[in-house]
Amino acid sequence: MSLKVTLFGGTGQGKTTYTLALLYMMASGIDGFRIEAKDADTTTKYLNPWRDFVMAKRWPAPTMGRREDEFRLLFQNEFVTDFRWVDYQGGAINVPSDESEEAAQLHADIQESNAFIIVADAYIIATRPQIEAELLTSSAYIFNLLNNYKFRGPGAESGVTITLVLTKADILPPEYKADNYRALYEKARTVFRGVTQFIAELRAPTSRIPPWMYPAAILPVSIVGDGNASVIDPGQGYDLATISLDRSPMPENIHYPFLYAIGNELDRIALTLEEQEQDLAARLNKLNRNVLNKILRGRTIRELHQERQAVAARLQELEPKIRAVTSVANQKMISLVP
């Protein structure tokens, strides 16, 4: 069993570019954290398009289908956990699981994930009419899936970490950058109001679920850095903006959402995983067969249970050290609910 982060977002929101930049930065290590791919080929697969991006100023090709890769997360050169990163073509969010293999896989990913990084285009949120921004970012689809598989589904008490990454912050109109992105946060919370309101309800004094079960935060990021890219055509309808990369990219803020997700997960899992495992079988048996088979991948529920227990023990051991580092990310991120 590994820690699992699912990257969520509609087509063209910036998931693949974000992933390439993050893995490039994390491969050399940031703040004591380092990511190693399971094998050298995986690393090459991610480094090549990143090199083309930096050297030839060529954006990564659109993702075909779902892509899952295994990594190892290290902290001060100590193994923390295996770690799976799932990126897929935006389309899978918008299809029912009985109609598409990829959608069934996505539903299983959601059910099994510890953390979600929702990737949404800040430029779309700022410049499109609200209702178009909702559809292009797939905010309602994302809420629907989270709601069914995490918030209200079996296992809601175990919580989940949610990070909303607002990409392409570099090309935002100045009024959305002003005052520490105040106008952007406001619009993003409205576009993602399903998730935001759900979290807000949990923060109410009457809620029986403690706030640390559902850490949720937001941050604008840029893979290229301010002033290094320009909008050639703002786009309309389904067509998103055409953007040229003019100078060498200088990624900004991109590792914080990741460290936030990881750090809060380690905290939360160490505290809840063991007890949550008690009713694992009951929870899994409530799932659609198709989705359950994807989660088990040939294992029995008992084997899955044992793998999870081992992770919990390991995390408990490392947690105090890791907390020292992730507190930086916690301070940098802005709470989803003001």
Ligand X SMILES: Nc1nc2c(ncn2[C@@H]2O[C@H](COP(=O)(O)OP(=O)(O)O)[C@@H](O)[C@H]2O)c(=O)[nH]1
Bridge partner list, 116: 6, 162
Taking the least distance from each CB to ligand X, the nearer of 86 and 270 is: 86
Taking CA atoms, 132 is separated from 138, 159, 237, 239, in Å, by 10, 30, 8, 11
Should residue 170 be labelled a site residue for ligand X when binding is judged by CB under 6 A?
yes
Should residue 166 be labelled a site residue for ligand X when binding is judged by CB under 6 A?
no
Nearest approach, Cβ of residue 121 and Mg ion (Å): 12
Nearest approach, Cβ of residue 224 and ligand X (Å): 5
Nearest approach, Cβ of residue 88 and ligand X (Å): 9
For 37-56, give the DSSP string: ESSHHHHHHHHHHHHHHHHH
Q: What is the DSSP letter of 92?
A: G
Should residue 125 be labelled a site residue for ligand X when binding is judged by CB under 6 A?
no
Write the CB contacts of 164 (distance below 8 Å, at least 6 apart in sequence).
118, 120, 188, 192, 195, 216, 217, 218, 219, 336
Nearest to 336 by CA among 209, 221, 194: 194
Q: What radius of gyration do the chain's Cα atoms show?
A: 19
Q: Of 126, 229, 269, 311, which lies in the binding site for ligand X, with binding defined by CB under 6 A?
A: 229
Taking the least distance from each CB to ligand X, the nearer of 9 and 194 is: 9
Taking the least distance from each CB to ligand X, the nearer of 210 and 227 is: 227
Binding window for Mg ion (CB under 5 A); candidates: 8-16, 133-141, 232-240, 264-272? 8-16
Q: Any alpha helices (H) in the chain, and if so which ranges?
A: 15-28, 40-56, 101-112, 122-127, 130-136, 139-146, 174-191, 193-203, 255-277, 280-285, 289-296, 301-332
Contact (Cβ atoms closer than 8 angstroms) between residue 184 and residue 125 = yes
Should residue 147 be labelled a site residue for Mg ion when binding is judged by CB under 5 A?
no
Q: Of 90, 159, 194, 220, which lies in the binding site for ligand X, with binding defined by CB under 6 A?
A: 90
Cα–chain center distance at 148? 18
> Of ligand X, Mg ion, none, which one does residue 229 interact with (CB within 5 to 8 Å by kind)?
ligand X
Alpha-carbon span 43 to 41, nearest angstrom: 5
Residue in this structure with the two tokens 């084997």, named with its chain if needed: 303
Taking the least distance from each CB to Mg ion, the nearer of 19 and 127 is: 19
Q: Which residues inside 208-227 make contact with ligand X, applying CB under 6 A?
A: 222-224
Nearest to 277 by CA among 240, 239, 304: 304
Binding window for ligand X (CB under 6 A); candidates: 12-20, 77-85, 279-287, 308-316? 12-20
> Of ligand X, Mg ion, none, which one does residue 181 interact with (CB within 5 to 8 Å by kind)?
none
Nearest approach, Cβ of residue 32 and Mg ion (Å): 29
Q: How many residues bind Mg ion (CB under 5 A)?
A: 3
Q: Which residues inside 231-260 make contact with ligand X, applying CB under 6 A?
A: 243
Taking the least distance from each CB to ligand X, the nearer of 164 and 223 is: 223
Should residue 14 be labelled a site residue for ligand X when binding is judged by CB under 6 A?
yes
Nearest to 24 by CA among 249, 260, 183: 249
Residue ranges in contact with Mg ion by CB under 5 A: 15-16, 63
Residue ranges in contact with ligand X by CB under 6 A: 9, 11-17, 59-60, 62-63, 90, 167-168, 170-171, 222-224, 229, 243
